[in-house]
Structure 1
Amino acid sequence: MPEVVHYRVSMLRPHTHLFEVRATFPPGPDTLEAVLPVWTPGSYMVREFSRHLQDVRATNPDGEALAVRRTDKRTWRVDARGRAVTLSYRVYAHELSVRTSHLDGGHGYFNGANLFLYTEATRGLAHHVTVEAPAGWKAFTALDSRDGAFVADSYDALVDSPFEVGPHTPLTFVAAGVPHEVVVWGDAVQDPARLCADLQRICETQARLFGGLPMKRYLFLLYLTDKGRGGLEHQASTALLFPRVGLHNPRGWEDFLTLVAHEYFHLWNIKRVKPRAFVPMDYAQENYTSLLWAFEGVTSYYDNRMVLRAGLMSASRYLIRLGETLSALQATPGRKTQTLAESSFLCWVKHYRPDEHSPNSAISYYLKGEVVAVLLDLELRRATDDARGLDDLMRLLWERHGDGSGVPEEGVEAAASELAGKDLSAFFDRAVRSTEELDFSVFAHVGLEVRSRPRESASDRGGTPPPRARGEGRPRGWLGITPKGGATFASVLEGSPAQEAGVYVDDELVALDGWRVDTAALLSRCEDKAPGDTVRLTVFRRDKLVEVPVVLGQKPADAVWLARVDKPTDAQKAALQAWLGTAWDELG
């Protein structure tokens, strides 16, 4: 009989927030070294999951206790003497996020990297999991079930298959011939039929792009909460965290669908077509690659496009959302400091650990990667007279690397140049390997041009022309701070008047020119003044009252939108229709 690693996960006392785990390893070396990952695939930060693991005990097949010695932060060593070993331990789980684990009286959710000790010697064996849960609870996972256990063909497959356990009744639908389940926790979905219908359209749209689905069934785990938004992709499932109120309005629903489309697109782009640096994954430390922009940024480009192609977003809304992305990029000074390749490579210490200086020192590989993906798509279309585009690049990478062998660091660029029929190194030098401003002139290929204006308010996300005329259009004053809340500053932007004057992060605002204001009123009143005017900020700095005079600058034009050119050619109209699937005259 083949050797198997067995786990039993018990949650019979959910109010303790403690999963009780038993892991049984087959006979092997005299010394067993059981380890826990320090990170989970898809979330590129060392999170030290072992800090929540406690009460480790070891026994042999006769039930005799064995000595357990912890040798470092993630390793437990047992004198196994060549026999099977059972480790019993508990894991504290009270963080509700897609990358961690959570147990309470309503449900249990766990990621394998948080819960399952493993050994490198048995990593390639089959791993079986049985679940003990309160009465009425049922376990949901993408893994197959056999003889009362969930079966993974390796530890890597187990880590990539989260579990949700609770008194749930799943929603179901079939897309591209593959059964899909949706398990919802946190609130009831008001319109489950619409939810399933829209998800089905998105899944089938993506299946058409790649010629079918790469799994035999799929599981959506949806967590509706009071706040927070995020997703984590897996081999045949995804966990989604979304604010419940967001499902009750059109913009929130649109945003939810793009989140779904993003994680589902990862079925191909990262779960199967992945950086070669991830083959195999090293769970003990960081796995470095400069290609994350091509997997997360490109996927961010496609999340909107898949909703558009599914008929769930208009082309006009798509261009507005793209303009919002461009605006977010232009409002981030860090784009002038960090390259896209560096952003990908250093995500382990930068992207997932943002601080008050991050806007000035870093750029998100999701954000800039999405914009570069747009430009690359249009560059490929321009170079081939719209015969090829980014879809073709995705399919080519899928054909060559969909077996999980991994894309080399130069692989995306080489494949793009091959499709373009010319060397695209100059494009990648500028877009990926430098901090030069991106070249938006390629938008002219589809009859669009990038325009910009100052933001109308702190809530102005760009994407649209000026909503109204502002008097004589005079320049507005600019301070250059990002508010944290009612009275404090989250960041002071690089090169801003506030930075030059000596305003600090965490200064507690008291007054402007002697009058009490909060940060919202501060920004508004500064905008009502002219560049060159001096304002007096009174703040508490570490409990000391300080007055800081600031000479206002001119508010930057960092709200971006995409406008149609005044006199488009027939070629531009045709190119736009080929790109968006909407005729020029139908674009609002």
Structure 2
Amino acid sequence: MPEAVHYRVSMLRPHSHLFEVEATFPAAPESLAAVLPVWTPGSYLVREFSRQLQDVSATGPGGEPLAVRRMDKRTWRVESGGRAVTLRYRVYAHELTVRTSHLDGSHGYFNGASLFLYTEATRGLEHHVTVEAPEGWRAFTALERRGDVFVASDYDELVDSPFEVGPHTPLTFTAAGVPHEVVVWGDVVPDASRMCSDLQRVCEAQARLYGGLPHRRYLFLVYLTDKGRGGLEHGASTALLFPRVGLQSARGWEDFLTLAAHEYFHLWNVKRVKPRALVPFDYSQENYTSLLWAFEGVTSYYDNLFVLRAGLMSASRYLTRLGETLSALQSTPGRKVQTLAESSLVCWVKHYRPDEHSPNSAISYYLKGEVVAVLLDLELRRLTGNARGLDDLMRLLWKRYGDGSGVPEDGVEAAAAEVAGQELSAFFDRALRSTEELDLSPFAHVGLEVRLRPRESTNDRGGTPPPRTKGEGRPKGWLGVVPKGGATFSAVLEGSPAQEAGLYVDDELVALDGWRVDTGALLTRCEDKSPGDTVRVTVFRRDKLVEVPVVLGQKPADAVWLARMDKPTDAQKAAYQAWLGTLWEEPG
């Protein structure tokens, strides 16, 4: 049997935030080059994990010291003389995200890419991990356990299997015959039994699409924090970061379920069916593909849909949330600048590194990708008389590429044409490779109309009809800034009155027409005025007081909602029912 790479991860001094790692590599060539990834799969940003790695030393099989030389930002070289080498080093971990690692007195979480040095020569060997933790702490991971050792078939599986270590008592449930664990850090779940039962229903809804689950067991790692929301998918687990207060409201619970549904759907769409450009992963640099819209955007479409299919969201709520997505797209000027394909390709420097200009220059492949996914689903249904849809496309991709061989750059489009029974080049040219507005006419196939209205407030996400209020229809003044809170702006929108007049993101708001305001009051007072009115906005620009006169524009109609047609045909009602699994006449 080939030798394995062995790691020992110690966290006996958790208040130091330092993981102590021992990595033993079997006999190798005369010189061993140990390297650390610069990114982690599923999160397309060069994160430079090696900046937190310190105190590297090396010994031979008899404990004799060996010289270690750092070659570059991520490589350490040892002249091993062909012998086995043990590297010892420490990793600082005090960043609680699903992509990094975190160690303190309450737990230890580590994502393999940020912790485990590897060599290209041994990357394909088994990788074994033992964990040394404070008394009363247990280690949780999706890896197979042999006694006290966790076993990964190779380095890729190791990186794809985060660890959570702490004094936790896991929740358990079975979905589609497969055992699942939920490990929660940060607080007590308000209703643990509901969390398990709802997650079970979501998992089983996804299993029904594919005819079963692709894993033997699954682990949800849930991190409840004061703020922040995100997830990272893995081959048999996921890490979810969610605000604890969110679990106490209906909307928050719904958001948690859609987040979990999103990461769980990646079991198929990303972890097994993946872009060929990511096969194999190159951990040393960016891995470019224009297909992320199909893997993240399509998954974003399905996350809400599977909560609906699980019976945990009404059809009306689903349409409201879809309207909110359409509203977010409609209010992003960058949709007219960056194509969806380019958004996928350059996410390494755009999506994961947003700045104040991002709303004007870029579009999220999650956001626009979700809208393209629903349009593709409805278009496939229209072209095939509701015989086939996006579900069939996903099953075809699973059948064809589920072995991990990777989807070629034109593979999704070719498979979609196969499902449709005809070419879809016009659809994809417009949706992926153009900045032209999307054709929303496929909604008519299911008896829906896309309608727009101005937003009622900065908290208005769209998705719902306008309220029937006094003064309805009166044009409102519009400044065109996005508030950051307090006295600053996070963006000045392209072509807005604020931009034309010369307001900047780094301006510190002082007053409107001589009266002190914060950004919330600024926008409200501008909306109380009429288009064409001039207001005086006073700001500190660096350390100089500046007054900027702004001629207000008319508040744009960028809040979208999906309205049912007044007189739908029987065919439209049937298509609606086939799509959402709900009778047209049924409320909610």
Answer yes or no: same fold by TM over 0.5: yes
| Residue of structure 1 in register with 2:50 after alignment | 50
The DSSP-based 3-state class of the residue aligned with 1:130 is strand
| Residue of structure 2 in register with 1:584 after alignment | 584
| Residue of structure 2 in register with 1:564 after alignment | 564
| Residue of structure 2 in register with 1:215 after alignment | 215
Distance 1:77 1:501 in 2: 57
* TM-fit CA distance, 1:587: 3.8
Distance 2:382 2:486 in 1: 48
Counterpart residue type for residue 31 of structure 1: S
Q: Superposition pairs for residues 17-28 of structure 1, below 5 Å?
A: 17-28=17-28
Do residues 382 (structure 1) and 382 (structure 2) align?
Answer: yes
Distance 1:477 1:431 in 2: 32
Distance 1:173 1:98 in 2: 23
Distance 2:2 2:491 in 1: 57
* TM-fit CA distance, 1:147: 2.9
Distance 1:468 1:191 in 2: 37
Q: Superposition pairs for residues 484-495 of structure 1, below 5 Å?
A: 484-495=484-495
| Residue of structure 2 in register with 1:287 after alignment | 287
* TM-fit CA distance, 1:425: 0.3
Distance 2:470 2:279 in 1: 56
Distance 1:388 1:326 in 2: 24
| Residue of structure 2 in register with 1:424 after alignment | 424
Do residues 511 (structure 1) and 534 (structure 2) align?
Answer: no
* TM-fit CA distance, 1:54: 0.1
Map Cα deviations across residues 117-169 of structure 1 (whole Å, 9 max, x no partner): 00000000000000000000000000011131000000000000000000000
Counterpart residue type for residue 151 of structure 1: V
Distance 1:6 1:450 in 2: 57
Counterpart residue type for residue 486 of structure 1: G
| Residue of structure 1 in register with 2:446 after alignment | 446
| Residue of structure 2 in register with 1:86 after alignment | 86
**Closer/same/farther in 2, CA of residues 14 and 421 from structure 1, 3 Å limit:** same
Counterpart residue type for residue 348 of structure 1: W
| Residue of structure 2 in register with 1:336 after alignment | 336
Distance 2:521 2:153 in 1: 59
Map Cα deviations across residues 297-350 of structure 1 (whole Å, 9 max, x no partner): 000000000000000000000000000000000000000000000000000000
Distance 2:496 2:239 in 1: 39
| Residue of structure 1 in register with 2:186 after alignment | 186
* TM-fit CA distance, 1:96: 0.2
Distance 2:577 2:470 in 1: 35
| Residue of structure 1 in register with 2:136 after alignment | 136
TM normalised by structure 2 equals 1.00
Map Cα deviations across residues 239-288 of structure 1 (whole Å, 9 max, x no partner): 00000000001000000000000000000000000000000000000000
| Residue of structure 2 in register with 1:546 after alignment | 546
The DSSP-based 3-state class of the residue aligned with 2:494 is coil
Distance 1:143 1:300 in 2: 27
Distance 1:147 1:523 in 2: 62
Map Cα deviations across residues 367-389 of structure 1 (whole Å, 9 max, x no partner): 00000000000000000000000
Distance 1:280 1:587 in 2: 48
* TM-fit CA distance, 1:469: 2.9
Counterpart residue type for residue 18 of structure 2: L
TM normalised by structure 1 equals 1.00
Distance 1:16 1:114 in 2: 17
Map Cα deviations across residues 74-123 of structure 1 (whole Å, 9 max, x no partner): 00000010000000000000000000000000000000000000000000
* TM-fit CA distance, 1:470: 4.1
Distance 2:510 2:202 in 1: 49
| Residue of structure 2 in register with 1:535 after alignment | 535
The DSSP-based 3-state class of the residue aligned with 2:433 is coil
Distance 1:472 1:288 in 2: 49
Distance 2:565 2:175 in 1: 39
Map Cα deviations across residues 5-47 of structure 1 (whole Å, 9 max, x no partner): 0000000000000000000000010000000000001000000
| Residue of structure 2 in register with 1:460 after alignment | 460
* TM-fit CA distance, 1:474: 1.5
Distance 1:406 1:472 in 2: 53
Report which stretch shifted further, 482-491 or 495-504: 482-491
Counterpart residue type for residue 343 of structure 2: S
| Residue of structure 1 in register with 2:483 after alignment | 483
| Residue of structure 1 in register with 2:371 after alignment | 371
Distance 1:587 1:567 in 2: 16
Distance 1:523 1:382 in 2: 43
Coordinate RMSD, CA, aligned: 0.6
Q: Superposition pairs for residues 313-332 of structure 1, below 5 Å?
A: 313-332=313-332
Counterpart residue type for residue 9 of structure 2: V
In structure 2, the gaps of 5 or more residues are none
**Closer/same/farther in 2, CA of residues 110 and 547 from structure 1, 3 Å limit:** same
* TM-fit CA distance, 1:472: 5.2
Counterpart residue type for residue 378 of structure 1: L
| Residue of structure 1 in register with 2:200 after alignment | 200
| Residue of structure 1 in register with 2:308 after alignment | 308
Distance 1:455 1:470 in 2: 15
The DSSP-based 3-state class of the residue aligned with 1:462 is coil
Distance 1:312 1:387 in 2: 26
In structure 1, the gaps of 5 or more residues are none
Distance 1:566 1:586 in 2: 15
